[in-house]
Structure formats: C-alpha cells, structure tokens
Structure 1
Amino acid sequence: MAVAALGIMGAVVAVQTDREAEVNELSRAALVGQIDAKRDELRDLQSQVAGLTNTNQSVVSANTRIQGQLDDLGGRVRRAELNTGFAAVHGPGVRITVDNRADVDVDSEIRDEDLAFLVDGLWEAGAEAIAVNDQRINVLGGIRNTNRAVHVNGRPVNAPYVVSAIGDPRTLQARLLQTSEGQEWFALVNGLGFVYSAENVDDMRLPAAPEPDLRDVIELNADPDGQTQEGSAP
C-alpha cells in the first residue's frame, strides 16, 4: 500500500510539474508578447516625438523668419516716418527767432510768404527737420495767411515765430546766407526791420507733424469704395 501511495504521489507531482512547466511557458510567451507590443508602442511614440520635434523646429524657423520680416518692416516704417515728418525727432541744429518791430504797421508785418523764404532757405542749406512754433513742417503741411494771422499746418501761430531746424550747426547758418531763398529772407529782414536772432543748439526736439485726413487719395490696390482689389497691379 505504501509503495502504491508513493507511486500515486509521484504521478501527481509529475503531472503538476508538467502543468507548471506549461504555465511557465505560456507566461513567458505572454510576457515576450507584451514586451514586443510595448516595444512597438515605444517606437510609435518615438516616431511621434520625432515628428513633433520637426514640426516645432519648422514653427520656430518660420517664427524667426516672420519676426525678421516684421522687424525689417518696422524699420522701414520708422525711416519713412522720419523722412516724411510723421515722427518726433531730436538732434543738433539752429533755433531762429523772428518778430515784428515794435512800431510795425499792417503792411510790414511778417507774413506767410516771408516765413516760407526762411523755411525753404533752411531746407536748401541742409536742414533735415523744421518746425515753426512747434508745428512740424512737411510736404502735407504748409504756412498760410488767413487775414492777418499766420497758420502752420492749419493752426494759428503768433509772433514771435521760433523756427527750429535740425542740421549741422557748424554750417547751417552760413549756408542759409548762400541760398537764393536765404538772401530773399535777409533782404526782407533788413528792408522791413524784422527782429531776428539765431543760436546754435546742441540738441533740440521737434514734434511729429499732424496726420491730415485724406479724403481724395485712394490706395492703388483699392476700388473707389475702399475695398481692396485682388490681383491688381501697380
């Protein structure tokens, strides 16, 4: 009986061992399958990361290029504003103060055309920016008389008239005397007795010219109703 029992126990142990071996083999195969699946998943994630990295680099490159274009455009706008007078500026130059004499009569008062001689002479002498009584002079502005009042950029200004011109203070006054407009101006100063004084200034600040309302100017690529036309050529 004991021998038979031992035989049965041996058979049971053998069966259990075989089953455990099968289970272990199945577990190993499942584990290998899971590892392979995770590897595939990892490769997919790595591929996605690489794609996102390339996309990010493209976006950064495009952003850098666009920022460079914006900086260039901003620089061009600032230069245009400086050249057209629509930006405040500062620099060395000459400040000229002009006034009527004390006993002046109506016919001998300083008029718009008199100041225009002075301003045009300063431009020709090398001035880069000019203001009259803090009114910036540019191509869209001007000096006009309305009755007896002098207007600059459509705004009234009163004597004494302070003409500020940015330019080389070492040569600006001398060159003014050499221009035809400057000679006309000084003939008026002497003939009508204007009170005139000039001084060199190391640094002066001039305001921007006021922006006028454009009523008749139409953008080249726009129709008369103000709608932009696509494909129009200059």
Structure 2
Amino acid sequence: MCAMPEQEPGVAPRARPDASMSLLTTVMDNTLDEGYAQAAARRREAGRSELPRTARAKLWLAGGLVLAGLVVTLGAAQAREAAPTVAREREELLERVHDGTRQLDDLQARVDALRSDVDARQRVALSDEDAERAELVALLAGASAVEGPGVKLVVDDAEDVAGTAGGPRDDGFAQTGRVRDRDLQRVVNGLWQAGAEAVTVNDQRLTALSAIRAAGDAVLVDNRPLVPPYTVLALGDPDGLLEAFDATLAGHYLTTLRDDYGIRVERSTENGLRLPAAPSLTTRSARPLPPEPDAGTLSHPEDPEEVTAP
C-alpha cells in the first residue's frame, strides 16, 4: 500500500486516495472476522473451565473403583469365613443322617429278632395242626418270610428322562420317561391277578394293607422312599406267572411304557427267591380261642348241668 504524503499545516486535510475503497481497506486491516475471534475466546474459556470438570470426573471414577474393590474384597472375605461354617453344618447334617440310618437298621434288626422269637414261642405253644394253620395265615398275611421259585421284573426310568416328549402320562409334575407310583401299582396288581403268592418291591413286602404312593418324584411303599431301578419279585410258577401276566392289562401297559416312553424293563425267571416278612404288620385285635370240651365231659343242650361220662 502506498504511503500518504505529509500534509502542510494550516491546509485542509485532503481525502485519502483509497477513500473510495473503504470495504477493501476494512478487509485488509481486519483480516479475522469478529465472530471467529469471539468463538476462539469462548473455546479458550471453555478449555480453562473443562480442566476442573475432567479432574472431578477422574476423581469420582477413582472413588467408584476403590469402592467397588472394597465391596468385592469384603464379599470374598465373608464368603471365605462362611465356607467353613457351611461345610461344617453339611458334615453335621450328613452325620446325623448316617446316625439315624444306623439306628433304624438296629431297630429293624431287633424287630426281626423279636419276631423270630415270637414265632418260635408260638410254634411251641400251638399244636401241630394249629401251628400249620398259623404258618399258613402268616404266609398269606405277609408276616413271615417265604422262599421259592418266581419271576423278577426290573423297571427303571428312561435313559434320557428330560428329553422325552409329552403324552397322556404327562400331568405337569414329572417327565413321561419316569416310573411313577401308578405304574408300579399296575404292575403289582397285574402280578397278583396273574397268581403271584407273594410280592416285594425293592425288598419291601406287600400285604393287603400296603400302599404305593408318591411324594414329589419319589415313590413310597408303605411310607418308605424307594429309588429306581425298582425290582419287583413275585413268587409262583415262573413260566405260568409270566405268561399270565403278559395276558393282563398290566402286562400290555408295561409293554407300552417300554415301547412308547423308553422305560427300561428286564424280566427273568428265578428258581430260588427269598422274600422277607413285612415289617409294618402290627396286631390290631386279638381274642383267645374258646376252650375245647374235655373228652370225658358231655354237655346236653337241654340240661345246663354238665354230665360226666362213665
């Protein structure tokens, strides 16, 4: 840009040669727009105020991490302290269960010994005919152990119980591939119908008062929980008993369970089975037999007085 000539004193100022180019002069003198300057100033101010906010955020983050670490550490310490307590309580519970099982076995052995003693005393007290009759009654009632030939049925759950599909046996409480109480009921009733003389389920002797029920997924026989596989023993003619059982509705039902639901069934004939006595039998009522009249004493229905025969 050309320099302006000095003006003489006392002379009116002369106009600038570039007065007609005021716009270009303004552009040349102020190359940066005021809006940019204001924006730059705001950014500088924001930068100065952003630094404290960032520091506060980092401080809060550090505090949160420290708090989280403290919570995890306390949780781990409490879990470490509680683990021995839980293990000790579990061991105590298992020990109580084992003690209760041993006591139950001892009591059952004592009951069996007392039952054997009662049977021996009964045979001594009764005559031969009465003893045979008592043994027959005890056999039919399940109060005495029995031995002889028979059949063996082993019924077990399907291999993949959880993978079986729903069907008419699915009532929402268990899978269709699981053996249930009503399945064992039908099998046992079918064996009785086929002519079985005595039946046990997992060594539990069945009588006229026995009940097969369910508690959740467990099967109870006379209130004793059983676990699969369920071994059913039945005394009788082996071949005839199996043939008669297959002809019953229970035999067809068991075949359907095996073919349609995958329930495993094993059958075999046995020559020497021993079925224990039923442990749950108790005497409900008893009365003595009337005394037999003496051979030397006669009683006439019309004469209340006894007459002694010569």
Aligned ranges 1:56-135 → 2 under 5 Å? 70-105=127-162, 106-108=174-176, 109-135=178-204
Q: Which range moves more in the overlay, 128-137 or 205-214?
A: 205-214
User: Normalising by structure 1, what TM-score?
Assistant: 0.60
Q: Indicate which of 147, 159, 181 corresponds to 2:216.
A: 147
Q: Deviations over 1:57-106 (max 9, x none)?
A: xxxxxxxxxx8963222221111010111110010011111111121033
The runs of 5 or more residues in structure 2 that have no matched partner are 1-123, 163-173, 289-310
Shift of 1:186: 2.0
Provide the C-alpha distance between the structure 1 equivalents of 2:218 and 2:249, rounded to a whole number of angstroms: 26
2: CA distance, partners of 1:87 / 1:69: 17
Give distance in 1, aligned partners of 2:201 and 2:126: 37
Larger-Rg structure: 2
Note the residue ranges of structure 1 that are not aligned, 5 or more in a row: 1-66, 222-234
User: For 2:154 and 2:285, how far apart are their aligned partners in 1?
Assistant: 40
Out of 163, 171, 175, the residue aligned to residue 240 of structure 2 is 171
* Identical-pair percentage: 38
Counterpart secondary structure, 2:250: helix
Identify which range, 69-78 or 151-160, moves more after superposition: 69-78
Taking only aligned residues, the RMSD between alpha carbons, in angstroms, comes to: 2.1
Aligned residues: 153
Whichever residue aligns with residue 80 of structure 1, its letter is V
CA distance in 2, matches of 1:145, 1:120: 17
Corresponding residue number in structure 1 for 2:249: 180
In structure 2, relative to structure 1, the CA distance for the partners of 1:68 and 1:145 (3 Å cut) is: closer
Partner residue of 1:193? 262
Paired residue secondary structure (1:122): helix
Residues in 1 aligned to 2:285 and 2:191: alpha-carbon distance in whole angstroms: 33
